[in-house]
Chains A and B, each alone.
Chain A
Amino acid sequence: MASRTSTVGSRAKRGLVSLGWALGGVLVAILLWEGVKVLGSIITLPFETSDQAMPHVWSIVSGAMQPEVRGSDTPVWQTVLIAAIYTLVIAFGGFLIGVAVGLLLAIVMQRFAFFERGLLPFVIASQTVPLIALAPLIVGIGNRISIGPFEWGQTQSIMFIAAYLAFFPLSVGALRGLQAATPTQVELMRSYAATPRQALWKLRFPASIPYLVPALKVSAAAAVVGTVVAQISTGGRGGIGRLIIEYARETTAQPAKVYVAVIGAVIVGLLAAGLVALLDLYLTRNLPKETLT
């Protein structure tokens, strides 16, 4: 019992330590940014460091406080925040679909060697199709789909792209994980006359967690990047991607604005990483620390 509580305690401590590192990282980023600006005013750097191209950190902060458009009461940060949440929700949807599809494929491939041989090459080949580049095409095709009351819109297309990028790392990681139970453990399950489903739930799935967790992290990152880039390339309304393009056009008037949107995108990424980290803590709560990644 004592060892359980100390495990929980050391985990909380580890959480605090990583929070400290994160804050330190933000500080370092700010110092680097301002340092480069100072350096650029002394010597000639191969890129523009003027206040126009790289506004001071404090200009970005005050830019975030300014109204979105002249005369409106909505400050820029609020618009960015709403767009960031919207993007996070889409990315989360894409992530969930990607995880479900990836897990299903992994289960089928593990269970039937025939499918592993037949399916795995296609799973790998799927990632050579630059779906992000084809995003406008996907939207074009999607717009023609409507099944009963369900209308495939731009949002569905963007979520589809996020899911497409997320399923791959997950299916590959999950497949390795589902194959991670030792031959002895597998024989034991057989000696207990376990059905394939029981073997999956009681052995293969829990044994896959050390492989599944890193795969979830990569998938979550892929879903966020996929969502933001797909929003940029399709100009999908409401998301942070669209906001980045819009604000980029206004750099002459308000150079800080686009950086507020970029920070918004970074925050989406961090929130996604944080959510997966919580999932990690939950999934690995019973495992020895050495197997944690």
Chain B
Amino acid sequence: MSTLAVHAEGVWKIFNEGANNEVTALSDVSIDVGKGEFVSLIGPSGCGKSTLLRVIADLIPPTRGSVSVAGVTPHEAREKHQYGMAFQQAALLDWRTVRRNVELPLELAGWDKDKRKARALELLEMVQLQDFADHRPWELSGGMQQRVAIARSLATDPEILLMDEPFGALDEMTRERMQNELLRISKATGTSVVFVTHSIPEAVYLSNRVVVMSPRPGRITHVVAVDLGERNEDTRESDAFYDSVTAVREALRGRATPVGEGGARLAETS
């Protein structure tokens, strides 16, 4: 078990249970994410992708079911800064410089000043923003802000990255650059990623597995394994890429064979 980044079993999330505005956002969701694995969640709006991410992050409790993150409870994982998060909005703090934005999680984790600063500069170098360390976030473009947010999510060197449509607000060109950057970083740091997206090509390009969800009630319907090997400039034009895109599209339309009992478990061999 301790080799898994995320282990969720039989997770239900019912908002306003018992009231007449009751919503079953997650229904019997099971998912395992291996160490260093990149898993995308895809599905129409309202199918519970953000809810699942929030449950994993201990931002909201599940109604039923069990979740472990990096081998401990989500609560412990949060207290120990074992995951980093990024959202569609970079949500940087206007009054802090770029560097001090990246330092924020470190401040809250009790790092001392010099170590914080050194770590933040190292991360900014990783996202190629070292020259903007002393700028304010509002002086940066949307893509640059999102890179700062990614640097910040990696600050405490977490085992897991939880990302909710982080590139959703970026233009296509910037988006593809950011995807490459994210792959490079997650590979270099060995970080596992759970990545929510609306874009099929994005999910396929980034992931080892694409988890397809469907709404009312929110549940996992398919898991598409993607095997494209090392990504490079030609990947997006390869036949294997198109095949995987088609497989995910079919799954979203409900045409492919759905997952059976056990949900999105890893194959025993992987």
Q: Is the pair A192, B81 in contact by a Cβ cutoff of 8 Å?
A: yes
Residues of B within 8 A of A3 (CB): 135, 139
Nearest-CB distance from A43 to chain B (Å)?
57
Q: How far is the CA of A194 from the CA of B139 in the complex (A)?
A: 27
**A187 near B59 (CB under 8 angstroms)?**
yes
Q: Are B57 and A202 in contact (CB under 8 A)?
A: no
B139 touches A193 (CB 8 A): no
Contacts known (A3-B139, A192-B109, A198-B108); A185 close to B59, Cβ less than 8 A: no
Q: In the complex, which of the residues A188, A287, A291 contacts B91, with contact meaning CB atoms closer than 8 Å?
A: A188
**Contact of B83 with A192 in the complex, beta carbons under 8 Å:** no
Known: A3-B139, A188-B85. A194 touches B108 (CB 8 A): yes
User: What is the chain B residue whose CB lies nearest that of A182?
Assistant: B91
Proximity string of chain A (182-215) to chain B, C-beta cutoff 8 Å, 1 when within and 0 when not: 1011011111111000100011001101000000
Q: Is B93 an interface residue (CB 8 A)?
A: yes
Structural contact, A193 and B93, CB atoms closer than 8 A:
no
CB-CB under 8 A from B87, the residues of chain A are 184, 187-188
A288 / chain B contacts, CB cutoff of 8 Å: 94, 136, 138
A88 CB to closest chain B CB, in angstroms?
30
Q: Which residues of B contact A187 (CB under 8 A)?
A: 54, 59, 85, 87
Asked if A286 is at the interface of the complex by the 8 Å CB criterion, the answer is yes
Q: Are A202 and B107 in contact (CB under 8 A)?
A: yes
In the complex, which of the residues B89, B94, B95 contacts A184, with contact meaning CB atoms closer than 8 Å?
Answer: B89
Q: With A and B bound together, what is the CA distance between A187 and B81 in angstroms? A: 14
- CB within 8 Å of A: which of B61-118? 78-79, 81, 83-85, 87, 89, 91, 93-96, 104-105, 107-109
Give the residues in chain B near A26, CB-CB below 8 Å: none
**A1 CB within 8 Å of chain B:** yes
Residues of chain A contacted by B95 (CB below 8 angstroms) = 206, 209, 286-287
B60 CB, min distance to chain A CBs, angstroms: 10
Is B134 an interface residue, CB under 8 A from the partner? yes
Q: How far is the CA of A187 from the CA of B84 in the complex (A)?
A: 12
Partner of B85, one of A191, A194, A202: A191
B97 to chain A, nearest CB (A): 8
Find the B residue at minimum CB distance from A283: B95
Which B residues are in CB contact (< 8 Å) with A202?
Answer: 93, 104, 107-108
CA distance A82 to B59 in the complex (A): 58
Docked Cα-Cα span, A206 to B87, in Å, equals 21
- Give A253-293 interface residues, CB cut-off 8 Å to B: 286-288, 291
Give the residues in chain A near B78, CB-CB below 8 Å. Answer: 190-191, 193
- Against B, the Cβ 8 Å flags (1 = close, 0 = not) of A2-34 are 010000000000000000000000000000000
Q: A192-B105, A192-B109, A193-B78 are in contact. Are A184 and B138 (CB under 8 A)?
A: no
Distance of A1 Cα from B108 Cα, bound (Å)? 28
User: Which chain B residues border A184 with CB–CB below 8 Å?
Assistant: 87, 89, 91
B-side residues, CB < 8 A to A, are 54, 57, 59, 78-79, 81, 83-85, 87, 89, 91, 93-96, 104-105, 107-109, 134-136, 138-139
Closest A-B pairs by Cβ, 10 of them: A184-B91, A288-B138, A286-B95, A192-B108, A191-B85, A192-B105, A185-B91, A206-B95, A184-B89, A193-B79
> Can you list 28 residue pairs at the A/B interface with Cβ under 8 Å?
A1-B134, A3-B135, A3-B139, A182-B89, A184-B87, A184-B89, A185-B93, A187-B59, A187-B87, A188-B85, A191-B84, A192-B105, A192-B108, A193-B78, A193-B81, A194-B108, A198-B108, A202-B107, A206-B93, A206-B95, A207-B93, A209-B95, A286-B94, A286-B95, A286-B136, A287-B94, A288-B94, A288-B138
- By a beta-carbon cutoff of 8 Å, the part of chain A in contact with chain B is 1, 3, 182, 184-185, 187-194, 198, 202-203, 206-207, 209, 286-288, 291
Q: A3-B139, A192-B81 are in contact. List 10 more A-B contacts (CB 8 A).
A: A184-B87, A184-B89, A185-B93, A187-B85, A188-B85, A191-B78, A192-B105, A192-B109, A203-B93, A209-B95
